[in-house]
Structure 1
Amino acid sequence: MRHPEHQYLDLLQRILDHGDQRVDRTGVGTRSLFGAMIRFDLSDGSVPILTTKRVYWKTAVKEMLWFLTGDTSLQSLLRENVKIWTDWPLAQYRRATGQDISQDAFEQRVLTDDAFAAQWGDLGPIYGKQWRRWQGADGRVHDQIAGLVETLKHNPASRRMLFHAWNVAELDQMALPPCHMVYQFHVTSDGRLNCGLYQRSCDLLLGAAFNFTGAAALQLMLAQQADLRPGELVWMGGDVHLYLNHLDQAREQISRTPRPFPTMRLLRKPANMDGYRIEDFHVEGYAPHDAIKADVAV
């Protein structure tokens, strides 16, 4: 049977061969395709943590746990040694002040100066705020995650089990509008939880690996809370692209042979979705190729 990671590698190759070269928001430029799908089967305990390069899976899971808290402060992430969101507030600070502060110095100020963190380290109403505290026009606040868990438990045949983050009224306040914007869920008659993730924009070299890992962790948590078993993770991409400064790295990754996916399991069952910690996730059998370095386009 063909390794499921080949779906990802084939998509990299298709973009290299047939991607439309265009100028993008960042000014770096991309090769882009529109519309893609990858399916991963989680029912045997395996999870799609890519093996053709090392993926720092704990960072991806910590980011997902941060989203689930509803927090939008960079300070909280940095306390967990997660630095993948620093680029956007740092760029905003440099533009606004004209100071060419280093990333390390900026992160230290966010960590140690609460007033500075409040002014420059808040990312706006991004994912977690929308997932846990979506505010309607009538002022009511909606916890989409809590509502989803209740529906999974009590009405698993529903076709309305989803949450999303594309709040049009608040997009201009976000450090970055949501890329992985809609998650929809489906429960089979034999108790398997399937997850469909639609990603409007995907940095295929850097972002996708984290999106696969975070979504798989989320699926395991939801399945556990609803007494279900993980099924398929179906990833769907809109504008799927490689930045022009990532092409050589993509070719390097394609040249590598996938290794078996690791397994992921939860070591305990918290009372609700708010109770999970990084220590609850146990990954076994992860033996990837070396990491591939590439710059983030901001």
Structure 2
Amino acid sequence: MQLKIAIGTIAFMLAMMVFGYAALREPARLGRFINAELGRSIEAGGNIFANNCTTCHGIDGTAQECYDSSGNQIACQGLPLNYNALLCGDKSQRMTDMGWQGTKRNYVLSVVSVGRGAIMPAWAEQFGGPLRPDQVENVTNFVLNWESETLCAAPVVTYDWPETAEEFLARTDEVQPGDATRGAELYSVTYGCQACHGSLDGAAPAAIGPSLVNIETDGATRVEGMDALQYVYHSILFPSDHIAPECPTGPCAGPPSAMPANFGARMGEAPQDMADILAALLGE
């Protein structure tokens, strides 16, 4: 009887040791499982991004290098996603700008799901898009995976835009007189303005935003106290402040404007671009 008790006690102790060892290893095993699942999700999201998102947000998410389905380089219409102002910090700069009160993950997921304005469509099935909930999660994980110490250590590039266009153009130590030819190229390709506003000569009609063919005249009538130069300059930097009355499909929607609000940040890296675009639009 005593032998059976001893054997039972030893067996119980061995079983507890095995269970204890397994319990100690469980967090690590679970962590590896979660990391593997996340890795598969990021990989799947990368494939979806490459097939659907790069024409607007760029091949690396920086909205700097975009191509159409034929392989021709085109202007990037979307906002940068591989970008410290979106991804860095518990509450990133873009979340603050948009007044978002939730988490960063939910912010990215919501934009992927429901879209943003006239250019960014809804992608989730429940909002009329083509992606299942798991696919929306995969794209969200792929975008969030761009956050890194290197990205977040880089300074956010800013430029102190003066209040008026005249003040800006007077900064002769920073900008040269506008080059209208280069400005027309920036307008049609680099910043993709033509896709919404049409070509400057009217050969390609406006599709979403108001035509700018006569902006040197029309711009002076839009806002009391603003001439055309100031109106265009301010509208590039703050597109939601003054909504044009008529768009190709009827009254322009907004605020907020369908026009991206990131041109000030993008041109802040090359202020000469602003001077050249003003020259193309207004001869300034």
TM-score range, shorter chain: under 0.3
Which TM-score applies when normalising by structure 2?
0.22
- Normalised by the length of structure 1, the TM-score is 0.21
**Structure holding more strand per residue:** 1
